[in-house]
Amino acid sequence: MVEQIIKKSQFEERGTLFETGAPVTCSVSIDKVIAVGFGDGSLRLYKPDAEPVVVHAHNGVILSIAANESHIITGGQDGLFLKISLNGEIEEIYNFGTQWVDNVAAYEDMFLCSSGKNVYIWSGDNNKPKLLEHQSTIGGIAIDQNGRRIAVSCYGGVTLWRYEKNKWKSSKFAWKGSHSKVGFSPDGKYIVTTMQENELHAWRIRDKASFAMSGYPSKVKSFTWAGDNPYLVTAGAREAICWPFDGKEGPRGRTPLCIASGGQENATYVETLPGEKAIFAGFKNGMVLLSELSENPNDVLIQSPTGSEISNISISPDRSHILVGDIKGKVLWSPLWEQ
């Protein structure tokens, strides 16, 4: 075999590489910490100028993670829905037994999770969760920017729940097919889902006008929002495909920006650089690029190809550090700026 000499990026040179041995499954940024969930049930808390703290949270894969201002919440294949402090103290919110806790979300003192076809909401001091039922297994959940609406995706579309007069009221946004991840646009006007097919679907909430964003060579596993327009930045293709959501009609009839074009394989994870018109794209071969939201973007190499699919990219809340994780358990933790 010919030994390939792969040049390290400046981020790999000044950062630290951790071999954790378990797939990186999810992450959330909170305070100065990036909390990362792993396939062996452990949670690691990465902070600048400190060794990562390992928390033995679940007995099985951590499937989903979220946070409010003070706590991390996690859902796992062990059926546990946990609340974890930044010191690593674990409190069990609920035990679903043999049922996986597939999705979690948090907003102030409201904690949500989905298990099977149901969404459970804990809020305030009430120990008994509110139950929202759905017709099929839930693919994803999202809370809007004000904590008043919850979007739940499953087979056949999205159910939008609004909190009005002390009740959760539902409204259906239908589109045939299986919907997984779901999110609100930053202005709260659109709902977007990833689908089992190689495409995304979006609805304008006001009139339920819906449209597909298709043409991807593989499944879209990740999306994020970036820039002021804003752009919906998506994985699933050789480049990061960015759909403009400004104007009345959003991306309909318009061509997307294609940036981060240095990858030889499809992008599997995308993340925005908060406050900048720039995004990170991670690829199936382990490469990570930083790219500008422009017609002729400059790309910066964050991580050279490693051979393992990127499963997570996270930026610390103060933008000082980047964390890159892959499906083999490698974690790159690096200062984002020269010191």
Partner 1 sequence: MENNSTQVPVTVLTGFLGAGKTTLLNRILTEQHGRKYAVIVNEFGEQGIDNDLVVDADEEVFEMNNGCICCTVRGDLIRILGGLMKRADQLDAIIVETTGLADPAPVAQTFFVDQDVADRTKLDAIVTVADAVHLSSQLGEHHEAEEQIAFADVVLLNKIDLVDQNQIKGVHDRIRKINPYTKIIETNRCEAPLDEVLGLNAFSLDRVLEVEPDFLDSDHDHEHDDDVTSISFVSDTPLIMEKFESWFGNLLQTHGQNILRSKGIMDFKGENDRYVFQGVHMLMDASPMGPWPSKAKRNSRVVFIGRNLDSMNLKEGFESCKSE
Which residues of the chain form contacts with partner 1 (CB under 8 A)?
Answer: 21-23, 25, 38-40, 59-61, 63, 77-78, 98-100, 102, 116-117, 136-137, 139, 155, 176-178, 180, 196-197, 218-219, 327, 329
Chain position carrying tokens 């000082």: 320
Q: Nearest approach, Cβ of 164 to partner 1 (angstroms)?
A: 31
Q: Which is nearer to partner 1, 25 or 314 (CB)?
A: 25
Q: Which is nearer to partner 1, 39 or 52 (CB)?
A: 39
Q: Nearest approach, Cβ of 115 to partner 1 (angstroms)?
A: 10
- 3-class DSSP state of 281: strand
Pairing of strands 140-143, 53-56: unpaired
Q: Which is nearer to partner 1, 85 or 95 (CB)?
A: 95
Q: What is the 3-state secondary structure (H, E, C) of 197-236?
A: CCCEEEEECCCCCEEEECCCCCCCCCEEEECCCCEEEECC
Q: Which is nearer to partner 1, 117 or 319 (CB)?
A: 117
For the record, the structure tokens of 155 come out as 């087979």
Q: Which is nearer to partner 1, 77 or 159 (CB)?
A: 77
Chain position carrying tokens 């074009």: 261
Q: Which H/E stretch holds residue 11?
A: helix 10-14
Q: For 213, phi and psi rounded to 5 degrees?
A: -115, 105
**Distance separating alpha carbons of residues 77 and 23, to the nearest angstrom:** 14
In a 13 Å sphere around the CA of 74, the CA atoms on its Cβ side amount to 36
Q: Nearest approach, Cβ of 39 to partner 1 (angstroms)?
A: 4
Q: Which is nearer to partner 1, 218 or 261 (CB)?
A: 218
Q: Nearest approach, Cβ of 308 to partner 1 (angstroms)?
A: 12
Chain position carrying tokens 């007995």: 59
Q: Nearest approach, Cβ of 285 to partner 1 (angstroms)?
A: 14
For the record, the structure tokens of 51 come out as 């060794």
Q: Which is nearer to partner 1, 71 or 179 (CB)?
A: 179
Answer yes or no: are the C-beta atoms of 143 and 110 closer than 8 Å: yes
In sequence order, what are the residues at sequence separation of 6 or more whose Cβ sits closer than 8 angstroms to the Cβ of residue 36?
Answer: 24, 26, 27, 43, 44, 45, 46, 312, 314, 323, 325, 331
**Amino acid identity, residue 110?**
M
Q: Nearest approach, Cβ of 166 to partner 1 (angstroms)?
A: 32
For the chain, state the CA radius of gyration.
19
Q: Nearest approach, Cβ of 64 to partner 1 (angstroms)?
A: 11
Q: Nearest approach, Cβ of 189 to partner 1 (angstroms)?
A: 25
Q: Which is nearer to partner 1, 21 or 247 (CB)?
A: 21
